[in-house]
Every structure is written in structure tokens, then in C-alpha cells.
């Protein structure tokens, strides 16, 4: 994997785990919360998107707008499942399961549909990252007894990760839509799609803003930044390498869960972290 792609992925991983920490610590709020987030995202990243449109001369055609709309709808489902997962499970359980299952499905899709042929070393690295993520989540049987609903939402989130990763990669790598312009367009469309339902919950929107404005702004800044960095990495490295490498964010989330949220079990988390670091090294050297 090119060093530039690896560096982009590592910065994106920190951003991703950090906005998930803010989401977990917030009161949640489902569609109302993410409507507020989308509103701030669209404003915060408007100057950058406008600058890129002006300097590159790029103008989205019908195909590009269709890809943006598709991405917006997939991300609405992703955020809905993720929010429900955090309201019924621990950060250090829901996050690893979602982030591990998504890339494994993505790798299969990249091989079957996109014709990628990752090196055996990269596949072993991906398996190492996936195994580490599952180890972080603990005993699956015990977890289902303790909170099966959270597990179900985590796996549904993972499925959405696989869908939007493949979809969005085609947008930026096959159709050559600039990543920031593509994702900003999808944010605006996501905002429009969720506006009718959010206006019906306007009292909830106001309550979330009063109680969790720090979380709203943090997610609005870090979520697009994380994903745009990953999209740039997808332009210079195979999807079957980028998808599992992105899951190093699980290491950061595990540290947050252990030290900030006091979710415990340090020895298991350290072992899982070592597995994931070894997996990342295998992918980076492939």
C-alpha cells in the first residue's frame, strides 16, 4: 500500500473513533440528531467544496448526482443503525463489531464484483484485523445474552458500511468525482431527505441542541473529514486494502472505551490491539 494512503487512513481512523465517542456520550436522538449534524456539515464544508468546484472546474452530471443521492440514502440507514446500536450496547462492543464486519464484506465484494486480487499477505492482515475486532467485543454467546439487540444493530451497521464503501469508491475511483465535492453533495442530499421527518420532531431537535451541541458540532467536523480522507486513499490504493486498514480506528475506540468510558477488561483489549496492529503491518507491507 502506498505510504500516502496509509497516512491518510491513520488520520481518518483517529477522526472516526473520536466522533463515535462523542456520539456515544451524547443522549442520541436518532434522525433529529443526524439532521442537525448534516446541517452543520453542509455549512462547515461549503467553503472547501465551493473552492474545489471553482478551481477544478468540475460540474456534477446526472450520473454523479445519482451516486450522491444513493450515498445519502445509504448513510441515512447507516447512521440510524449506529445510533440504535449505541443506545442498546457499549461503545467497545458495537463499534468493533460494526467496523469489523463491514470491511470483511467489502473485501468479498471487491474480489467478486470489482475483480480485485489482493495479495495473500494482505488477506491475512485483513483477517488479523477482523479477529482482533471480534476479540475486542468479547464472548459472542455472552454478548448475545447480555444485549442481543445491540449486536444486531452493530451487524446491520456493518452491512451498511460495506454497501456505502463499495458505492462511494466507484464514485470517486471509477467516475472520478472529487471526494470532497462528492461527499458534500451527498451530505446536502441527506439533509434534504431527512428534513420532513425532522421538522415533525422539532421539539426533539431543540432539546438535542440544548443538551448535546458539543457532540453535534464534533460529529459535523470529524465525520466528513474522516470519510473524505478515506475516499482520497481509495483513489490511490485497492479497496480490499483500504477497507480493513480503516478499522485501526477500533484501536482508538477501544482505548476510549477502556480509559474514558471505564468499560474494563484491559488484557483482552491489549491482545486484540496487537492482533490488529500485526494485521495492519501486513497490509501496509503488501
pLDDT value at 261 more than 60: no
- Give this prediction's pTM: 0.80
d(CA 28, CA 263): 19
What local confidence, expressed as pLDDT, does residue 214 receive? 92
d(CA 47, CA 32): 25
Section 52-59 average pLDDT: 92
Structural contact between residues 268 and 133, judged by C-beta atoms closer than 8 angstroms: no
In the structure, what pLDDT confidence band is assigned to residue 244 with cuts at 50, 70 and 90?
Answer: confident
d(CA 192, CA 189): 5
pLDDT value at 283 more than 60: yes
pLDDT value at 285 more than 60: yes
What local confidence, expressed as pLDDT, does residue 86 receive? 79
What local confidence, expressed as pLDDT, does residue 284 receive? 65
Domain segments of the chain as ranges = 3-285
What are 89-148's pLDDT values in tens digits?
776 677 777 877 777 777 777 788 777 787 888 788 778 877 776 676 665 555 555 545
What local confidence, expressed as pLDDT, does residue 136 receive? 66
What are 184-238's pLDDT values in tens digits?
999 999 999 999 999 998 999 999 999 889 999 999 999 999 999 999 998 888 8
Residue percentage of the chain with pLDDT more than 90? 38
Out of 3-12, 128-137, 177-186, give the one with best mean pLDDT. Answer: 177-186
Buried b or exposed e, range 146-158, using 16+ CB within 10 angstroms: ebeebbbbbbbbb
How is residue 79 written as a grid cell?
Answer: 447512521
More confident residue, 86 or 167: 167
Say how many residues make up the chain: 286
Q: Minimum mean pLDDT among 54-63, 80-89, 186-195: which range? A: 80-89
Helix (H, G, I), strand (E, B) or coil at 176: coil
- What average pLDDT is seen over the chain? 83
Section 141-159 average pLDDT: 70
Amino acid at each position: 500500500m502506498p505510504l500516502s494512503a496509509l497516512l491518510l487512513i491513520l488520520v481518518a481512523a483517529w477522526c472516526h473513533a473520536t466522533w463515535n465517542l462523542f456520539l456515544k456520550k451524547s443522549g442520541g436522538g436518532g434522525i433529529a440528531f443526524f439532521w442537525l449534524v448534516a446541517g452543520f456539515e453542509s455549512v462547515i464544508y461549503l467553503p472547501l467544496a465551493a473552492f474545489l468546484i471553482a478551481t477544478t472546474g468540475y460540474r456534477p452530471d446526472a450520473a454523479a448526482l445519482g451516486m450522491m443521492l444513493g450515498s445519502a440514502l445509504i448513510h441515512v440507514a447507516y447512521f440510524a443503525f449506529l445510533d440504535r446500536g449505541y443506545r442498546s450496547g457499549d461503545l467497545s462492543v458495537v463499534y468493533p463489531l460494526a467496523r469489523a464486519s463491514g470491511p470483511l464484506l467489502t473485501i468479498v465484494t471487491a474480489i467478486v464484483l470489482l475483480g480485485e486480487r489482493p495479495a495473500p499477505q494482505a488477506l491475512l492482515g485483513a483477517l488479523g484485523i477482523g479477529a482482533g475486532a471480534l476479540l475486542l467485543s468479547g464472548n459472542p454467546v455472552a454478548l448475545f445474552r447480555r444485549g442481543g439487540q445491540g449486536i444486531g444493530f452493530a451487524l446491520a451497521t456493518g452491512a451498511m458500511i460495506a454497501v456505502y464503501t463499495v458505492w462511494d469508491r466507484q464514485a470517486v475511483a471509477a467516475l472520478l468525482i472529487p471526494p470532497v465535492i462528492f461527499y458534500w453533495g451527498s451530505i446536502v442530499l441527506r439533509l434534504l431527505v431527512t428534513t420532513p421527518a425532522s421538522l415533525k420532531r422539532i421539539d426533539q431537535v431543540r432539546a438535542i441542541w440544548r443538551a448535546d451541541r458539543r457532540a453535534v458540532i464534533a460529529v459535523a467536523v470529524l465525520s466528513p473529514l474522516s470519510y473524505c480522507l478515506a475516499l482520497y486513499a481509495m483513489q490511490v490504493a485497492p479497496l480490499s486494502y483500504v477497507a480493513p486498514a480503516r478499522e485501526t480506528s477500533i484501536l482508538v475506540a477501544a482505548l476510549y472505551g477502556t480509559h474514558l468510558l471505564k468499560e474494563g477488561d484491559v488484557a483482552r483489549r491489549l491482545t486484540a490491539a496487537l492482533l490488529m496492529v500485526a494485521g495492519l503491518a501486513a497490509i501496509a507491507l503488501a
